[in-house]
Amino acid sequence: MKKFSLSLFFTLLFNLFVFGQYSFAYGSWKNSLSQIEKNDLTRDEKAEAILKKAVEKLGSEKYLQVKSTVGRGRFSVLRDGVIISFQSFVDIIVYPDKERTEFKQAGDKNVQTNTGETGWVFDGAAQTLGEQNKDQLENFKRSVRTSLDNLLRGHWRGKAILSYIGKREAGIGRRNDVVKLVFTDNFAVEFEFSADGLPTKAIYKRLNPDNEEVKEEDRYAQFIDVAGIKTPFIVDHFTNNVQISRVNYESIEFNKSVPDAIFAKPKNAKELKKDLKF
């Protein structure tokens, strides 16, 4: 989380609200993968310079050399600006596409784990363990694409085209630089950066079940230095400019040794009763 790398937090939120199957229709770029790889050779220099400045701001090589992240904190759901529920979490990420998130609330534990194109879930209240469905897998894929780490560590290269959009108003006397990623299936995400190079937002669009366009937005705040790496300890999520959730980290560890076994689906639900330790 973090979703900073936040993939499973918002996946869980969408499942809670039962948004159903999404279709994505933001962007109209129809290049093949081979064309994207060719275009990568003639990169948008302005956009690349913005990414480089952000990486330097967040820790330069220390940031780029992060292989895993373990975050702990609280995930809150909001309605009309008021927290209506919250749960504690531990989120373990091994880049680029392994993640396990455990949520606890009132004694119940829920676990969601993804490895590439596969994933499994555990519902502690119902004591059920099963494979993720198509929508859950698509949500994880989307959350990886829209994550700041995916952008700045370059895991999108060969899969999308990066371009500089221009400047956007960000308050009185402030303007953010905007870069855009467009993937081969036309899914697009924009990232905003402040004048000093810090990332501020990730913005993308989707179509809801009524075929209406919905704007989704992650806003990053409270950057804290952890072992020479700056990372946001607060990530707020907005839908159509209305805040619906907050991720508030209490601690983050980088490059902690993470055993592959924690991503494997257990044989039965009983194995998930114990707290995760590694």
Tell me the per-residue pLDDT of 129-161, one tens digit each, with 9 for 90 and over. 999 999 899 999 999 999 999 999 999 999 999
Question: Residue 211 has which token pair?
Answer: 């075929």
9 pLDDT tier (thresholds 50, 70, 90)? very low
d(CA 159, CA 146): 13
pLDDT at 264 over 50: yes
For the segment 79-95, the average pLDDT, to the nearest whole number, is 95
Quick: pLDDT tens for 194-247: 999 999 999 999 888 888 899 999 999 999 999 999 999 999 999 999 999 999
pLDDT at 22 over 60: no
pTM beyond 0.75: the answer is yes
pLDDT at 34: 52
pLDDT averaged over the chain? Answer: 87
pLDDT at 268 over 50: yes
| H or E stretch covering 12 | helix 7-16
pLDDT at 33: 47
Task: Give the residues across from 242 on adjacent strands.
Answer: 239
pLDDT at 2 over 70: no
Quick: pLDDT tens for 100-117: 999 998 878 999 999 999
Domains assigned to the chain: 7-272 (2.50.20.10)
Spatial CB neighbours of 27, under 8 Å, sequence gap ≥ 6: 182, 183, 186, 187, 188
pLDDT at 270: 86
Asked if 179 and 43 count as a contact pair (C-beta separation under 8 A), the reply is: no
